[in-house]
Amino acid sequence: MAHPTISGTPDQNRVLAVSLFNMMILLLLASASLLGEIHGFKIALIRIDSIESPWFPKNLTLEERHQRIVELSKNHVLSLKSANKSNKGKFYNPSPNALRSPDIQVLSKIYVTQLAIGSVRYSPYLLRDTGSEDTWVQCEGYTNCFPVRGGNFAYRNSLTFGYLPCNHRLCYPKLCRNRICIYKETYLGGASTSGLIGTDTLAFPTDTGTSQIFNNFAFGCGLDNQNMYFGGNRGPNNVIAGILGLGASRRSILMQLVAHTNDIFSYCLPSWTSPEHVHTYLRFGNDAQIRSEAERRLQTARLVPGITRYKLYLVDISIAGKRLQLEPSLFSGGFYVDTGAGPSLLARSVYRRVRAEMVEYFQRQHRWRPIKSVYDLCYANSIGSSNQSLPSMTFHFDGASLALGPANFFNIFQLVSVWL
């Protein structure tokens, strides 16, 4: 079986989580033996700040929106570190540079999607997560719950619903009750979800106004959901009902629908400063193909094998073409591709090196000095809306380098400040 490959993004050990805007990610996890007819489909991705949510009221300025996105991303990283710690034999390295926070927002993601489940066509918003293998929704009949505007999935009313038996290949580990497969997920801060695993139809809308339907999809039916809240929203206006799992294990949507996905998915994330109505898609199978000129420029970087998260080997970082010559030990834990984070997040030790090089660059090129701001590195803007005087950044991976223009990591607000 060929090594899995990726073209696109990063994250690292003590580097915590990643999802770079303004770029395309193509995950190729295909076995060479899957040769026959390949289908494809796509799912619309919805920015969490574009749906009606108390976390993103419509009157926020660009600066305020970005601050909230950064806060969600940092909190999500804490959840990622907690998950890593519980699997320390596989990919956890304790670090003195770890983030700390007294208030942890559980399951803070930047993009959500909407689909329909069952014959009752229950249509929840789900958080898209490459770090989760299970898709789950909160169901009626719960013992503990979180509020969901629009209600919960009435699985008993769905004519197409079935229970996943304990002897099914998708029932692993073998957690069962009354011969029915069950699941349990625990998150940082004491949040947890558990319940039965059932099967039902999934339906995604198409461009023609019809629905693409997949039968007998296995997912978690959350019946005991404790201390669960999404992006700081604990009230009745919460619209998120669960998670769409995109991990690399057998129960994720990628693997369950392998006849249609061929173990391939891609997505292109616009800048968070783009208008809210800008649409983007999560694409699978044939729909995820990169063609023509873009295909000729494609690079592939090797994924770390043997784990269900998407993790890369990061080698070094360059600023304006200058390699920082970072110590290999700083990247010993790898670099995660994580759809739960908005900006890229680096460990403090790595970030300090990047920041120092940026400060030196601006002093050398423009005689700029940092100004006080709510952000860590900010300059008075003397270049208008242009970013031609700003440096580039390159992430060097094992097998590929990802070159980022200034628009990928600098922001210019009100033409008066530039910040990293």
User: Is a pLDDT exceeding 70 seen at residue 103?
Assistant: no
How, if at all, do strands 280-285 and 322-323 pair? Answer: unpaired
Verify that 283 and 345 share a domain, yes or no.
no
Q: Is residue 305 part of a domain?
A: no
Question: Which three-class secondary structure string do you get for 207-230?
Answer: CCCCEEEEEEEEEEEEEEEECCCE
Verify that 108 and 203 share a domain, yes or no.
yes
pLDDT tens digit sequence for 226-277: 988 775 556 787 888 999 988 888 899 999 999 999 988 888 777 666 665 6
What pLDDT was estimated at residue 358?
94
Q: Render 125-149 in DSSP notation, one character per residue.
A: EEEEETT----EEEBTT-SB----T
Verify that 121 and 192 share a domain, yes or no.
yes
What pLDDT was estimated at residue 398?
92
Verify that 284 and 397 share a domain, yes or no.
no
The Cα angle at residue 336 between residues 171 and 31, in degrees rounded to 5: 55
Q: Which of 336, 322, 319, 308 shows the shortest CA–CA distance to 397?
A: 336
Q: If you ran DSSP here, which 8-state letter would residue 206 be given?
A: -
The Cα angle at residue 278 between residues 276 and 283, in degrees rounded to 5: 125
Verify that 217 and 324 share a domain, yes or no.
no
What pLDDT was estimated at residue 101?
28
Total tally of structural domains belonging to the chain: 2
What pLDDT was estimated at residue 137?
97
Verify that 230 and 97 share a domain, yes or no.
yes
- Domain extent, residue 258, equals 5-295
Q: Which of 225, 213, 303 shows the shortest CA–CA distance to 260?
A: 213
The answer to whether the predicted template modeling score (pTM) of the entire model surpasses 0.95 is: no
Question: Which tokens in the block code for residue 186?
Answer: 């625990």
Q: Which of 18, 19, 31, 26 shows the shortest CA–CA distance to 299?
A: 26
Q: Is residue 18 part of a domain?
A: yes
Verify that 104 and 167 share a domain, yes or no.
yes
Q: Is residue 301 part of a domain?
A: no
Q: Is residue 302 part of a domain?
A: no
Q: Give the percent of the chain with pLDDT over 70.
A: 66
What pLDDT was estimated at residue 147?
93
| Torsion 46-49-51-54 (CA) sign | positive
What pLDDT was estimated at residue 226?
92
Verify that 139 and 102 share a domain, yes or no.
yes
Q: Which of 229, 261, 295 is the last residue of a domain?
A: 295
Verify that 133 and 280 share a domain, yes or no.
yes
Tokens 């898209």, located at residue: 128
Verify that 10 and 53 share a domain, yes or no.
yes
The Cα angle at residue 24 between residues 23 and 26, in degrees rounded to 5: 150
Q: Is residue 307 part of a domain?
A: no
Beta carbons of 176 and 165 less than 8 angstroms apart? no
Q: Which of 295, 324, 340 is the last residue of a domain?
A: 295
Verify that 136 and 228 share a domain, yes or no.
yes
Q: Is residue 171 part of a domain?
A: yes
pLDDT tens digit sequence for 29-54: 433 333 344 478 999 888 776 664 44
Q: Is residue 373 part of a domain?
A: yes
User: Is a pLDDT exceeding 70 seen at residue 370?
Assistant: yes
Beta carbons of 417 and 374 less than 8 angstroms apart? no
Q: Is residue 300 part of a domain?
A: no
Q: What is the arithmetic mean of pLDDT over 80-90?
A: 41
Q: Residue 177 maps to which CATH number?
A: 2.40.70.10
Verify that 169 and 233 share a domain, yes or no.
yes
| Ordered alpha helix ranges (H), 326-372 | 348-366
Round the average pLDDT of the chain to a whole number and report it.
76
CA dihedral 28, 31, 32, 34 (to 10 degrees): -100
Q: Which of 265, 295, 325 is the last residue of a domain?
A: 295
β strands within 145-210, DSSP E = 162-163, 176-177, 180-186, 192-205
Q: Which of 415, 406, 417 shows the shortest CA–CA distance to 371?
A: 417
Tokens 């700029």, located at residue: 368
The model's confidence at residue 95, banded by pLDDT at 50, 70 and 90, is very low
How many helices, marked H, and strands, marked E, lie in the chain? Answer: 6, 25
Q: What's the rounded Cα separation, in Å, for the pair 220 and 389?
A: 50
Q: If you ran DSSP here, which 8-state letter would residue 13 be given?
A: S
Q: What's the rounded Cα separation, in Å, for the pair 381 and 379?
A: 6
